Amino acid sequence: MHRPCLNSSAVCRFQPWQPPATETLELRALARRIAALTVFGTQGEEPAACSRRHGAAQPGPYVRIWSSASSRLEQRIDRLIEQSLAVIDRCPQLKKNFELLTSMPGLAEKSGIQVLSEVGDPAAGL
Protein backbone atom coordinates (compact mmCIF):
# COMPACT_ATOMS: atom_id res chain seq x y z
CA MET A 1 0.00 0.00 0.00
CA HIS A 2 1.40 3.41 -0.96
CA ARG A 3 1.57 6.31 1.44
CA PRO A 4 -0.45 9.41 0.55
CA CYS A 5 1.27 12.21 -1.33
CA LEU A 6 2.88 14.66 1.06
CA ASN A 7 3.57 17.39 -1.47
CA SER A 8 2.63 18.29 -5.01
CA SER A 9 5.92 17.09 -6.47
CA ALA A 10 5.41 13.52 -5.27
CA VAL A 11 4.05 10.99 -7.74
CA CYS A 12 1.05 9.00 -6.56
CA ARG A 13 0.25 5.63 -8.05
CA PHE A 14 -3.12 5.71 -9.76
CA GLN A 15 -5.52 2.99 -8.66
CA PRO A 16 -8.23 2.42 -11.27
CA TRP A 17 -11.70 1.60 -10.02
CA GLN A 18 -12.41 -2.11 -9.97
CA PRO A 19 -16.00 -3.31 -10.11
CA PRO A 20 -17.08 -5.47 -7.18
CA ALA A 21 -16.62 -9.20 -7.60
CA THR A 22 -19.58 -11.17 -8.94
CA GLU A 23 -19.97 -12.88 -5.57
CA THR A 24 -20.14 -9.51 -3.81
CA LEU A 25 -22.87 -8.28 -6.16
CA GLU A 26 -24.81 -11.52 -5.74
CA LEU A 27 -24.46 -11.32 -1.95
CA ARG A 28 -25.58 -7.68 -1.99
CA ALA A 29 -28.75 -8.56 -3.93
CA LEU A 30 -29.56 -11.40 -1.53
CA ALA A 31 -28.87 -9.26 1.55
CA ARG A 32 -31.08 -6.44 0.29
CA ARG A 33 -33.88 -8.93 -0.36
CA ILE A 34 -33.49 -10.29 3.19
CA ALA A 35 -33.68 -6.74 4.56
CA ALA A 36 -36.78 -5.95 2.49
CA LEU A 37 -38.59 -9.10 3.61
CA THR A 38 -37.63 -8.46 7.23
CA VAL A 39 -39.09 -4.95 7.06
CA PHE A 40 -42.18 -6.28 5.30
CA GLY A 41 -42.69 -8.85 8.06
CA THR A 42 -42.57 -6.23 10.79
CA GLN A 43 -44.94 -3.74 9.16
CA GLY A 44 -48.17 -5.59 9.76
CA GLU A 45 -50.13 -5.63 12.99
CA GLU A 46 -50.63 -8.99 14.68
CA PRO A 47 -54.26 -10.14 14.11
CA ALA A 48 -55.00 -10.68 17.81
CA ALA A 49 -53.95 -7.11 18.63
CA CYS A 50 -55.86 -5.78 15.64
CA SER A 51 -59.01 -7.66 16.71
CA ARG A 52 -58.76 -6.34 20.27
CA ARG A 53 -58.29 -2.81 18.97
CA HIS A 54 -61.48 -3.14 16.93
CA GLY A 55 -63.45 -4.69 19.79
CA ALA A 56 -63.68 -8.30 18.58
CA ALA A 57 -63.88 -10.90 21.34
CA GLN A 58 -62.02 -13.58 19.33
CA PRO A 59 -59.54 -13.00 16.52
CA GLY A 60 -60.98 -15.95 14.58
CA PRO A 61 -59.41 -17.33 11.42
CA TYR A 62 -57.18 -14.30 10.92
CA VAL A 63 -54.71 -15.62 13.49
CA ARG A 64 -54.24 -18.85 11.51
CA ILE A 65 -53.84 -16.94 8.23
CA TRP A 66 -51.37 -14.49 9.77
CA SER A 67 -49.43 -17.30 11.44
CA SER A 68 -49.19 -19.21 8.15
CA ALA A 69 -48.08 -16.13 6.21
CA SER A 70 -45.56 -15.25 8.89
CA SER A 71 -44.16 -18.78 8.81
CA ARG A 72 -43.81 -18.69 5.00
CA LEU A 73 -42.05 -15.33 5.22
CA GLU A 74 -39.58 -16.70 7.78
CA GLN A 75 -38.94 -19.71 5.53
CA ARG A 76 -38.19 -17.41 2.58
CA ILE A 77 -35.76 -15.38 4.69
CA ASP A 78 -34.08 -18.58 5.92
CA ARG A 79 -33.64 -19.78 2.31
CA LEU A 80 -32.10 -16.44 1.34
CA ILE A 81 -29.71 -16.67 4.29
CA GLU A 82 -28.71 -20.19 3.17
CA GLN A 83 -28.11 -18.90 -0.38
CA SER A 84 -26.04 -16.03 1.02
CA LEU A 85 -23.91 -18.41 3.06
CA ALA A 86 -23.35 -20.54 -0.07
CA VAL A 87 -22.12 -17.44 -1.95
CA ILE A 88 -19.82 -16.57 0.95
CA ASP A 89 -18.41 -20.13 0.98
CA ARG A 90 -17.53 -19.87 -2.74
CA CYS A 91 -15.23 -16.88 -2.21
CA PRO A 92 -12.32 -17.34 0.22
CA GLN A 93 -11.96 -13.60 0.94
CA LEU A 94 -15.68 -13.18 1.61
CA LYS A 95 -15.56 -16.21 3.88
CA LYS A 96 -12.57 -14.82 5.79
CA ASN A 97 -14.22 -11.41 6.18
CA PHE A 98 -17.53 -13.02 7.21
CA GLU A 99 -15.82 -15.11 9.88
CA LEU A 100 -14.07 -11.99 11.15
CA LEU A 101 -17.34 -10.05 11.29
CA THR A 102 -19.35 -12.78 12.99
CA SER A 103 -16.62 -13.33 15.57
CA MET A 104 -17.59 -9.95 17.05
CA PRO A 105 -20.04 -10.15 19.95
CA GLY A 106 -23.55 -9.20 18.88
CA LEU A 107 -23.02 -9.73 15.16
CA ALA A 108 -24.78 -12.92 14.06
CA GLU A 109 -25.15 -14.45 10.58
CA LYS A 110 -27.95 -12.23 9.33
CA SER A 111 -26.24 -9.01 10.44
CA GLY A 112 -22.89 -10.27 9.17
CA ILE A 113 -24.41 -10.88 5.74
CA GLN A 114 -25.85 -7.36 5.68
CA VAL A 115 -22.58 -5.68 6.65
CA LEU A 116 -20.42 -7.86 4.41
CA SER A 117 -22.65 -7.30 1.40
CA GLU A 118 -22.21 -3.54 1.63
CA VAL A 119 -18.57 -3.13 2.72
CA GLY A 120 -16.85 -6.48 2.41
CA ASP A 121 -15.68 -6.39 -1.19
CA PRO A 122 -12.78 -8.87 -1.52
CA ALA A 123 -10.98 -6.54 -3.93
CA ALA A 124 -10.95 -3.77 -1.36
CA GLY A 125 -10.55 -5.90 1.74
CA LEU A 126 -12.70 -5.34 4.80
Dihedral (CA of 21, 93, 36, 74) sign: positive
Q: Tell me, yes or no, whether 29 lies in a domain.
A: yes
* pLDDT score of 18: 82
Full residue range of the structural domain in which residue 75 is found: 22-119
Count of beta carbons in the 10 Å neighbourhood of residue 37:
15
* pLDDT score of 26: 95
* pLDDT score of 100: 93
Q: Tell me, yes or no, whether 8 lies in a domain.
A: no
Categorize the per-residue pLDDT at 14 as very low, low, confident or very high, splitting at 50, 70 and 90: confident
Q: What one-character DSSP code corresponds to residue 21?
A: P
Does the predicted TM-score (pTM) go above 0.75? no
- CA-based nearest residue to 81, from 120, 43, 44, 117: 117
Q: Tell me, yes or no, whether 33 lies in a domain.
A: yes
Look at the chain and report how many structural domains it folds into: 1
Q: Could you read off the pLDDT of 19-74 as tens digits, one per residue?
A: 888 999 999 999 999 999 998 877 765 655 555 555 555 556 666 666 777 888 99
Residue 121 has pLDDT above 80, yes or no: no
* CA 94 from centroid of its chain's CA atoms: 14
- CA-based nearest residue to 84, from 95, 93, 74: 95
Q: Tell me, yes or no, whether 13 lies in a domain.
A: no
Residue 2 has pLDDT above 90, yes or no: no
Q: Tell me, yes or no, whether 126 lies in a domain.
A: no
Q: Is 80 exposed, middle or buried (0-12, 13-18, 19+ CB in 10 A)?
A: buried
